[in-house]
Structures are given as C-alpha cells and as structure tokens.
Structure 1
C-alpha cells in the first residue's frame, strides 16, 4: 500500500461525521503546577529537581493549552544537567470529536546531539473515546522543524507528526495517562513517550509518578539516542 493511500485512509478515519454538542458549562480556565525529584539517564546521569506547569483555556469551540518544564543542576559551579521545554497547542472544534490544531514545541537540552529543537505543525485530530473514565484521541499533522546540533550546525526541514493520548480515570482519586508523539523529517525522527500515574492526596494536591522517554534516531558519534526522565512530583491543580 502506498504512503498516499495510508495518509488518505488516516484522514478518512479521523473525519467521519459525528454530532457536536459543545463542552460542558463551567470556568474556561484550568491548570497545574508540579515540583518534584527527577532522575535522568542517557546523555546525562543525574538526579535533580524539576518544575512543570500548564495552563488551559477551553471555550465553546476554541481550546488553548500552554505548558512548560525546566530542569537544571550544577556541581562545583559547573552545569551538569539543563533542559527546557515549552509547548503551545490551539484547537478549533469542527464537531464533538473532530478538531483542527496548530502546535508549537520548543526543546532545549544540553549535553545531547541536539542543543535545540523547535517544531511547528498544523493538522487534524479526532477524539475516539470521550467518557467520564476514558479518553482516547489522535492527531495527524504536517509542518517544519528547526534544529541546532551541539556542533553548531543547523538543520531546517519539513516534518510530519502523529500523536496519541490515552487517559484512564481509575478511581475517584487516581488516574493513568499515556502520550506518544512522533515528529519525523528527512534527517531525524524525534519520539517522545510520557507515562504518568496520579493519586490524589487532599483537595487539589496530588502525587504524580512519571516516566518520559525521548529519542532521536540520528545522533552525533559519542552521544546517546535516548534520554529518560523518571520523576516523583507534588502537583497543585486549579480550575478542575
């Protein structure tokens, strides 16, 4: 089967007609802040603190999500771990299940082959399952990337993206979350997997165990393709 036939099949699966009734009423704002302990493996072997945050705005058809993460550690006045990530996604609902999206993703990680990676995508998404306990959705998009290698060489190329999210509300105070992103171009494929298990403590406070895998298919000699981040964090959520 040709790549074009596969792409057409995916688009048809994402865009089959459904009825749209709009989101439930309530405050449009929500978000969370996390502070935790992190173990890094791969190009850097280190333990440090991490800070994460997210803000969401959900209207009738428009949805906006902004998130960020900062990791840093120094020993004897030398930086041993440093990573920053910022992501924005805007969505416009065509129906209850189908939406268009635009995505900006910025990653800066020292001590790896790619000192900086920036991605921009537009595409279409579908919510396959949306119940009180389960959420499953996928996105297909096209765009571009700009990367800077640790050697100073820049790479600019067209990219395609496929992404999937599954969330399961296990009980009243516990949930499971899994997300997989694949951004692929001619010179590199960047893959990111995020797994989280959350348990409520009291009120808006929760404990979160997370494991993130980040992989670049093409790297410089002497560097690792894969970095992993295992974290235990305390989360404060608002607007939920």
Structure 2
C-alpha cells in the first residue's frame, strides 16, 4: 500500500529543498505564461475555432515537455497541484513539501498572469469556465478523467521504476497527453487539468465563475490515478533518488 508521509520541519531548511522550491516556482511561471499567453494570442487573433484549439494544444504540449524536462531532476517539475497531490498519495512527496509546492505553484501562476496582463498592454486574461450546456457534474467528470489520464502517464513513464527507457521520454509523453486532452476537452471545460493554471487567471481577472470545478475535478482525478497506479500496478517499491523525490530521500548535498 502507498504510504503518505508527513515529513518534518527539518527538510524545509535543507538546501536541496530550497532549490526545489525555487525551480518549481520558475517552471510553473514559465508554463502558465506560455499556456495562458497562447490562449490570449488566440483570442487576439479572433480564434476560438478548431484551429485555435489546436494552436493552444500544441503550445501546451510543447511547454509541458520542455519545462518538465528542465525541472525534473531538481524539483520533479510538478507545475501542477494535482500532480503534487497524486505523488503525495503515492508516498513520493511529503505533506510538508506538497503544501509548499502548492503555495509556490499558485503564486507563480498569479505572477505569470499579472505579467501577461502588463506585457500585452492590459489585455484581459481568459479564465476557465464551463461551456454552455455543460453542467457541474459533467464538468467535474471531464476534468477528473483528463487529469486521471495525465497522472496515469506520469506514473507509467516517470515514477514506476519498471518504466525503463520511457523515463527519459516521460516529459515528452506527458506533454503529448496534455496536448491530446486539450483537444478532447478544451471546447467543454477548457481542459485545465491543473488548479494552478486556472487559479492565476481567476485571481487576476477577479472572475471565479465555476472555479471550484477546476480544483475538485483535477484533484480527485489525479489523486485517484496515483492511488490506483501505486497500489495495483507498482509491484516493486520505487528506487531511491527518482526525480520525483521520494519521501525518505532528503539528504542535503
């Protein structure tokens, strides 16, 4: 069974932990900047069509692939509270680390959206909302399934020690899943899969319509995915020093 670990205050003082927080902040900022920026560019170019959706899907696939690769060996490159929660459920991230990662991710997302608003001459930052005809239950299920598939890919390609050569391709494969999910769910919920991605635009715009859906859906789907993979498919225990940082692996450099 997966082991959820509280952690200890001492890990906050470790140089490795501080570096991880700093890198997680940078990675989340860059991800949200590109993801939200592509949505703003699409609106400025009078998008909101299939071509515009494809444009955003490609942008998110590319930025996730690059940014997760860049941060993987330092912070794990989570850039997403749902990823952090899922890894905590699987015993790969302590509760203390998870809490500070969440704060990191939300702050970075907010700063990225303020930056975009300023750099684009005051253009409105688009928020995630349910499309017309999509109810709360439908939206929750959509975001849950999309995030479940995202985390299932994370576990299968980067966390599971049996994934072998797929570990090196993990960030690219995860980016492809994000792109595919954006195409599948973008027209209905915006395909957030990431509470931080939805939080920044909502905070900057002051528009919290349907916002709770983008927390409950991804966190439920991500947490469930981590629990199922860890307890039913992860036959052998994770090897030490995996890039997601195991709860017991906190020696300082």
Which TM-score band applies after superposition, normalised by the shorter structure?
under 0.3
Higher strand share: 1
Q: Relative to total residues, which structure has the larger helix share, 1 or 2?
A: 2
Whichever of the two has the greater Rg, that structure is 1
Q: State the structure with bigger RCO (CA 8 A, min sep 6), 1 or 2.
A: 2
TM-score when normalising by structure 2: 0.21
TM-score by structure 1 length?
Answer: 0.22
